[in-house]
Structure 1
Amino acid sequence: MSNKDRVIISGGGPVGLICALALARKGVPVTVFERFDSLKDDPRAATTHPATLELLNELGLEQEIREAGLVAPVFQFWDRISGELIAEFDHALLADETRFPYVVQCEQFKTASIALAHLRKEPNAEVFFEHEVVNISPNDDGVAVTVRSPEGETTHHARYLIGADGGRSTVRKAAGIAFEGFTFPEKFLVLTTPFDFQAHRGYSYRTYFADPEEWCNCFKVAADGPPGLWRTVFPADPDASEKDLFDEAAVQARLQKFFPKEGDYEVVHRNLYHVHQRVAKTFRLGRILLAGDSAHVNNPIGGMGLNGGIQDAANLAEKLAEVFLGRAPDSLLDLYDLQRRTVTTDFVQSQSIQNKKRLEAKEPEVRAQNFAELKGQAADPTKAKAFLMRSSMLDAQRRAAAKAAE
């Protein structure tokens, strides 16, 4: 770790590890510092879109991730009030656009674990758990990074520092980069159950329910299965306590309201979190770069957060390797900022906000218009394909590539 001629990455989640793997494969020495003592069994992001699968395939990870997860070619929109299936979209329409005309439902800790196993095999890569980046000091030829571990604080030097350390990023805050946007007033409540919604209700592995009072996302993950688990996501009163929201009677009432059945649901996991829509003012400040949640966060409807982070990682690694190895000028990193920040602000943020508005619309005429649009798109193969190009993030990836040509 004494050699400063390397890249340091703060954060050993899927974004940091995939970025490290891509850099190491290109011949760039890299060190990852992760504050936790191991990979966390994070119950959040699981959806991996076709655009991201293409990038993971380039690293030789797609098959392992697919085998660790569930292939989900279809997703659905339902109206909870009427119980009507509004629209169903099949990624098979993208078969002429991508080798991966499906979504893979693979929990992010599994993706991180797979990436870590590959990274361990790279001779110019190292990963240190229980090592938290607590301060940074940029200079003319690199960045001094202060790291706290069980042995105390130490200082390390790198030519470049990547902050992949989450929405509360120490790197972003220490660099003084603003995190612009807002926080939704409601919290998101996640209730996980082994109840098989596909077998008993006919729901696809990714299903969205519109409701003017309490929308819901319902999706399946492999977990330790088969048979797997189903996660249901609801908006929750911001003033309600976690104790009240997690109360068994309240949990059962919420699930029964949406999915009535005889007997109680087995609920194996409860989670509650705040949701933000924020983007860093810049993804690049000199030798400091941001990727993943440290650069942008959004609501999870549509599954675009982790995908955007992995896409950041691949884009950044490609450019940083060229700069680090002397094959391109340092200004190439400005293109990373332009491409990824443009995609994030113009596509991911707007699309994820629109996804939420579609589910929570209250006015009957707005709901009717939303449903008519979805039905029309699903019924027309050309319109359905265009819808899928956006939802799969293939359009966003191609837009980013077009920025290079511009």
Structure 2
Amino acid sequence: MNTSDSPVAVIGAGPIGLITALGLVAHGVPVVVFEAGDDLSSETKAGTVLTRTLEVLDRYGALGPVLEVSLRLDEIGEVDRATGTSTGSVLTSALAGETRFPFVVNVPQHELEPVLAHVLEERAPGTVRMRHRLEDFTQHEDGVMLRLSTPDGIVSFAASHVLACDGGRSTVRDRLGVEVTGHTLEQRYMLVDLVCDLDVRNPRDYPYLAYFGDREEWMVLVRQPHCWRFVFPLAPGRDAPTPDELRNKARHFIGEVDSLEVLGGNVYTVHHRVATEWRDRRVFLMGDAAHLITPMWALGLNTGVLDASNLPWRLAWVRRGWAGEKLLDGYEAEQKPVAVHGSGAMAEAARAVMDRRSDSVAGWRDAMTRTLLGVRLGADWSMTRTGPLGVGDRIPDLRVFSRRGPVHLHELCRDSFLALHLTDARRRPHIPAGGPAGLRQVVVSRWDALDPHVYFDPGDTVRERLGDAVVLVRPDAHIAHIEPWTATAWKSVQDRYLQEVHLAG
């Protein structure tokens, strides 16, 4: 079989599957999403989208419609349950110099998914195919043949690659025989949506994302666009509370209010489990199929979006012939440590703070701030970003000016590697035309020049952050390489790019 022009098959139309598909479409890669269900999920699930995820949605052209149905917030608070007093807040406005989106948003997953699906349908009509349940697949040297059950019987589908976004009970992972390691907590989470007025008739002035810590029973309170979401721990073996019990539990934290209407709820089993392998030749595991992380600190969905940020551009480069197959190995190498040691470890720390087994509230604020913009990727991966920017870091989305007006660094690298030459444009640094496919080289300088390859940097804002350097940035806005600037930097960064995409030599 020859599937060089065949679509990529995404299994599962949850948020990670839909965002992954949007990423592939943004890079010009044909894709089909197969969903077993009759419709998108209507369950009460994830509800907070962090800043880095907003940047990914913006890169994939879906942020505007998502913001239209979301509630924006710039404060994440921690409240001591015993005293009812604030123990500190994270103010996302502190990120205003780092991103165009210095806030997070609350939107229920069952409202997010239809918006993502609608954008995908507009960009690539017919991409999502409902009632297509994956039964099995066979890998070949140059593609994957899928067998799917549909209302019209079993059908076959030839795909170039398969991306498993089919959740914690992944059929794809099961067919591959991949194990998951880790543990499942005895404690479960109860999530319930309640309609109550805490703004006018019963003003409480809680942050719209508030963590109530307590040794006996903690709670997370999330203001959704049309309700308040309460998340409680549920003791082992305890049945799900009745609606009356839920109303009483809510009053235990927020006090008496004039009305509490239960809209719906869900009981979650809490995991820290990660697949032992994330890739088998042309098949990749993503999101919950690769890692089951507690929803504490919004680490479930948002960790999956980091997967959806990392893999699509790699597939695009390989399919275009701009990269060697080894480029695809970087996906698991970079994302697996984030799930195992990053998000998972931070989730454990979050539970300790909420249970008051740890008094590190200052650490809580630091950790929460760090989750908003992602992690350093690569061999020296890290959840921290102290000191100067280095390889693997997400580059700040700083503003520069083209001949036509303002533009941000993340916009310049959406579908290319970007080499930023931070030097003096008055000296007319040599930047050759052409070069390897997929690489763009520009000059950033506080001295303007009548050259479309020069971007004006008033006040040396970018140069102050990065120094007199040439910086190679990937399409996902992570730094691939930094070196001191020289007159021949264009050649060395070109060679480095070819190494990054595994075409050197």
**Superposition TM-score, scaled by structure 2 size:** 0.71
What CA distance in whole angstroms lies between the structure 1 residues aligned with 2:260 and 2:121?
41
The aligned counterpart of 2:234 is 236
DSSP-derived class of the 1:197 partner: coil
What CA distance in whole angstroms lies between the structure 2 residues aligned with 1:262 and 1:66?
30
| Alpha-carbon offset, residue 157 of structure 1 | 1.8
For 2:19, the aligned partner's letter is: I
What CA distance in whole angstroms lies between the structure 2 residues aligned with 1:264 and 1:208?
22
**Match of residue 205, structure 1, among 186, 203, 208:** 208
**Match of residue 261, structure 1, among 241, 256, 262:** 256
The aligned counterpart of 2:90 is 89
DSSP-derived class of the 2:186 partner: coil
The aligned counterpart of 2:223 is 220
For 1:104, the aligned partner's letter is: V
The CA RMSD measured in Å over matched residues stands at: 2.3
Is the Cα contact below 8 Å between 1:47 and 1:105 reproduced in 2? yes
The aligned counterpart of 2:294 is 299
| Alpha-carbon offset, residue 261 of structure 1 | 0.6
Is the Cα contact below 8 Å between 1:279 and 1:344 reproduced in 2? yes
1:353 counterpart = 2:322: no
What CA distance in whole angstroms lies between the structure 2 residues aligned with 1:76 and 1:328?
45
| Alpha-carbon offset, residue 60 of structure 1 | 1.8
**Which structure 1 segments of 5+ residues have no match?**
223-227, 378-383
The aligned counterpart of 2:360 is 370
What CA distance in whole angstroms lies between the structure 2 residues aligned with 1:124 and 1:394?
31
Per-residue CA distance 1:159-190 (angstroms, 9 max, x = gap):
21110001111011111111111111012111
What CA distance in whole angstroms lies between the structure 2 residues aligned with 1:210 and 1:240?
21
Matches within 5 A, 1:33-52: 33-52=34-53
| Alpha-carbon offset, residue 105 of structure 1 | 1.0
**Which structure 2 segments of 5+ residues have no match?**
383-390, 394-479, 482-499, 501-505
Is the Cα contact below 8 Å between 2:26 and 2:61 reproduced in 1? no
DSSP-derived class of the 2:313 partner: helix
For 1:402, the aligned partner's letter is: G
Larger Rg: 2
For 2:136, the aligned partner's letter is: N
Is the Cα contact below 8 Å between 1:29 and 1:125 reproduced in 2? no
| Alpha-carbon offset, residue 304 of structure 1 | 1.6
1:95 and 1:268, CA in 2 relative to 1: closer, same or farther beyond 3 A?
Answer: same
The aligned counterpart of 2:375 is 395
| Alpha-carbon offset, residue 288 of structure 1 | 0.5
What CA distance in whole angstroms lies between the structure 1 residues aligned with 2:333 and 2:230?
35
The aligned counterpart of 2:400 is none
Is the Cα contact below 8 Å between 1:211 and 1:361 reproduced in 2? yes
1:125 and 1:20, CA in 2 relative to 1: closer, same or farther beyond 3 A?
Answer: farther
1:125 and 1:27, CA in 2 relative to 1: closer, same or farther beyond 3 A?
Answer: farther
1:281 counterpart = 2:244: no
The aligned counterpart of 1:328 is 323
| Alpha-carbon offset, residue 293 of structure 1 | 1.0
DSSP-derived class of the 1:97 partner: coil
DSSP-derived class of the 1:39 partner: coil
Per-residue CA distance 1:11-68 (angstroms, 9 max, x = gap):
0111111211221232222111001112122321121111111111112222221121
Is the Cα contact below 8 Å between 1:284 and 1:333 reproduced in 2? no
| Alpha-carbon offset, residue 262 of structure 1 | 5.1
Matches within 5 A, 1:170-189: 170-189=171-190
1:354 and 1:393, CA in 2 relative to 1: closer, same or farther beyond 3 A?
Answer: farther
1:252 counterpart = 2:247: yes
For 1:101, the aligned partner's letter is: P
| Alpha-carbon offset, residue 198 of structure 1 | 4.8
| Alpha-carbon offset, residue 346 of structure 1 | 2.2
DSSP-derived class of the 2:298 partner: coil
| Structure of greater relative contact order (alpha carbons < 8 Å, 6+ residues apart) | 1
What CA distance in whole angstroms lies between the structure 1 residues aligned with 2:49 and 2:174?
29
| Alpha-carbon offset, residue 396 of structure 1 | 4.8
Per-residue CA distance 1:303-331 (angstroms, 9 max, x = gap):
02111112211211010111122211111
For 2:214, the aligned partner's letter is: D
What CA distance in whole angstroms lies between the structure 1 residues aligned with 2:199 and 2:137?
49
What CA distance in whole angstroms lies between the structure 1 residues aligned with 2:173 and 2:90?
38
User: Percent identity of the aligned residues?
Assistant: 30
Higher mean C-alpha deviation, range 125-134 or range 255-264 = 255-264
| Alpha-carbon offset, residue 249 of structure 1 | 3.6
The aligned counterpart of 1:145 is 146
1:197 and 1:278, CA in 2 relative to 1: closer, same or farther beyond 3 A?
Answer: farther
The aligned counterpart of 2:475 is none
DSSP-derived class of the 1:241 partner: coil
| Alpha-carbon offset, residue 251 of structure 1 | 2.0
| Alpha-carbon offset, residue 342 of structure 1 | 1.8
For 1:234, the aligned partner's letter is: F
The aligned counterpart of 1:73 is 74
**Superposition TM-score, scaled by structure 1 size:** 0.88
The aligned counterpart of 1:339 is 334
DSSP-derived class of the 1:184 partner: strand
Is the Cα contact below 8 Å between 1:28 and 1:325 reproduced in 2? no
